[in-house]
Amino acid sequence: MRPGVGYGTQLDQVTRWCAELENGRRETLSEFLHIVLDGSVTEPMLDVLWVLISPDAYTRLTTRRGWSRSRWEETMTEVIRQLAT
C-alpha cells in the first residue's frame, strides 16, 4: 500500500470509534447518576461530570499533578455530592 492510501478511511473509522466510546461513556454516566441521585440529573450537570471524570482528566491529575487513585476517587465523589445538592 502506498503511503497515505486508505488513511482517510482509517481515520474515519477511528473517529467514529472514539465518538461511540465517548457517547457510551456519557450514557453510562447518565444511567449511574440517575440511579445514585434518584433521577435528579440535569443536562448541564451531566456535561460537567462527563468532562471531569474523563480519562484525560484522570490522567492529568494522577500523572501530571501526582494525585493518587484514592485521592481522585474521593475528590470526584465529593464533587458529585456537591453538584447534586
Rounded CA separation 50/32 (Å): 12
- Residue 43 belongs to a domain: yes
Q: Which residue has the cell 450537570?
A: 45
- Residue 1 belongs to some domain of the structure: no
Cell of 38: 434518584
In the prediction, which pLDDT does 7 show? 67
Question: Does any domain span residue 30?
Answer: yes
- Residue 14 placed within a domain: yes
How many domains does the structure of the chain reveal? 1
Of 56, 57, 50, which Cα lies nearest the Cα of 80?
A: 50
DSSP letters, 5-29, are TTHHHHHHHHHHHHHHHHHHHHHHH
pTM of the predicted protein model: 0.73
- Looking at the domain assignment, is residue 2 inside a domain? no
Domain extent, residue 57, equals 7-84
46-77 residue pLDDT tens: 999 999 999 999 999 999 999 999 999 999 98
Cell 449511574 -> residue: 32
